[in-house]
Amino acid sequence: MIQVTKPFLPPIDEYQQYVEQIWKRQWLTNMGPLSSELEMRLKEYLDLKHLLFVANGTVALQIAIKALELKGQIITTPFSFVATTSSIVWEGCTPVFVDIDNKSLNIDPEKIEAAITPQTSAILATHVYGNPCDIDQIERIAKKHKLKVIYDGAHAFGVKYKGKSIFEFGDISICSLHATKLYHATEGGLIITKSPELLKKVALMRNFGISGFGTYGDIGINGKNSEFHAAMGLVNLAHLPAIFNKRKELSTTYLRNLKTLRATYPIWNTQSAPNFAYFPVILESEEFLLQLVEELNKNQIFTRRYFYPSLASSLPYLAPSAFAITDDISKRVLCLPLYHDLTIEEINLITRIILRVQNN
């Protein structure tokens, strides 16, 4: 069986060394020494001044919206994981969708201004598959209209834009460290901001708003993470070069094998380089996609329609709306298996089946 993804697991003895430390200290959560060390190590790795380790990427988004005190409408993309939209609604705001660019698959900045109203407070844009949005144009629009900017960088670990970490941009950026991500802590998320004042506010919110013994500095939530998750994050940091190199090799093999496939691929931002978090293929039709999925499934090969259907048309708590490009792309995009333990031989098998379906 070939899954669409599998978590990277380091040698168990490396993880066990950290677990033994946890056992000796009996400090399991509440920002213990391993969680603090992970924050420090990640700041060094990503070259960031401020970074907070939280429970997951969804909590990171919710805290970001709350910390920025957003109200009313938030402009966002219908082509993303559900957490991008549900976090907006969860925090009492209204998502306003804007269609995507058909090349990058990110929110189309040319369409943002038309969606701005007096009730608009922010733009929440996703770096889809880790591919950077048109940051310059989004920042220009936000400055012009006095809007806050949150970047959902759940897929974007390790990505740089113009030589800087992708997380340097916006009022707040978030990342997911879920088990299926190319770098993970089993479960986890990151909140990044350049503002020391905002960092302090977010840090309070992460821990119930507690500012001291019996005192509270702000409203808060339990957004902390555990020492066991921090341990996984620390171990996996050392393996990142090998993880990136392997995923690059696998992605290159896909592209070489599928050069005759009647399909396109998202065009990566020219100011950046891919992190190979996913391997999405935009097929010529939904009919072909369904045929392909059926044949791959028969061979115990599993893919994912990531992201399908459009968030604008599928969420029961929102009135459905249509967006031409998002609706079209979401029906035709398919993420092929990509993970560290996947082999070249398995990719050769996957691609042979794909081409056989096309050519029959």
Residue 325 has a CB neighbour count (10 Å cut-off) of: 18
* pLDDT of 282 above 90: yes
Tens of pLDDT, residues 27-46: 999 999 999 999 999 999 99
Class of CATH domain 12-237 = alpha beta
How many CA atoms does the CB half-sphere of 219 hold within 13 Å?
A: 9
Tracing tokens 């986890």 back to the chain, one arrives at: 188
Helices and strands (DSSP H and E) totals, the chain: 12, 14
In this prediction, residues 98-127 reach a mean pLDDT of 98
What DSSP letter does each residue of 41-63 carry, written as one string? HHHHHHT-S--EEES-HHHHHHH
* pLDDT above 70 coverage of the chain, percent: 100
pLDDT band with cut points at 50, 70 and 90 for residue 305: very high
- Do residues 165 and 171 lie in contact, with contact meaning Cβ atoms separated by under 8 Å? no
Judged against a pLDDT cut of 90, whether residue 213 lies above it is answered with: no
Point out which residues pair with 89 in neighbouring strands.
Answer: none
Q: Do domains 12-237 and 240-359 have the same CATH topology?
A: no
The pLDDT tens digits for 218-241 are: 899 999 999 999 999 999 999 999
Cis peptide before 309 (omega within 30 of 0): yes
DSSP H helical ranges for the chain: 12-25, 33-46, 57-67, 82-90, 135-145, 196-206, 227-237, 240-257, 286-298, 311-314, 324-332, 344-359
Q: Which amino acid is at 170?
A: G
Mode of pairing for the β-strands spanning 210-212 and 215-216? antiparallel
Pair of tokens at residue 186: 């089993």
Number of alpha carbons in the 13 Å side-chain half-sphere of residue 277: 28
The predicted structure's pLDDT at residue 214: 84
pLDDT number for residue 196: 96
Q: Is the confidence at residue 111, as pLDDT, over 90? A: yes
pLDDT at 212 over 90: no
| Diameter over CA atoms, the chain | 70
In sequence order, the β-bridge partners of residue 97 are 76
Q: 307 preceded by cis ω (within 30°)?
A: yes
- What percent of the chain is predicted at pLDDT more than 90? 98
Residue 211 has pLDDT above 90, yes or no: no
Question: Where is 241: in which H helix or E strand?
Answer: helix 240-257
User: What pLDDT is attached to residue 137?
Assistant: 98
What confidence score (pLDDT) does residue 76 get? 98
Between CA 71 and CA 94 the distance in angstroms is: 8
Q: Where are the domains of the chain?
A: 12-237, 240-359
Residues facing 126 on adjacent strands:
152
In order of 196, 205, 283, the CA distances from 79 in angstroms are 32, 29, 17
Q: Which CATH architecture has domain 240-359?
A: Alpha-Beta Complex (3.90)
The mean pLDDT of 4-9, rounded to a whole number, is 97
Q: What is the mean pLDDT of the chain?
A: 97
Q: What is the mean pLDDT of residues 312-329?
A: 97
Give the pLDDT confidence of 130-165 residue by residue, as tens digits: 999 999 999 999 999 999 999 999 999 999 999 999
Tens of pLDDT, residues 34-80? 999 999 999 999 999 999 999 999 999 999 999 999 999 999 999 99
Region 104-109 average pLDDT: 98
Residue 248 pLDDT more than 90? yes
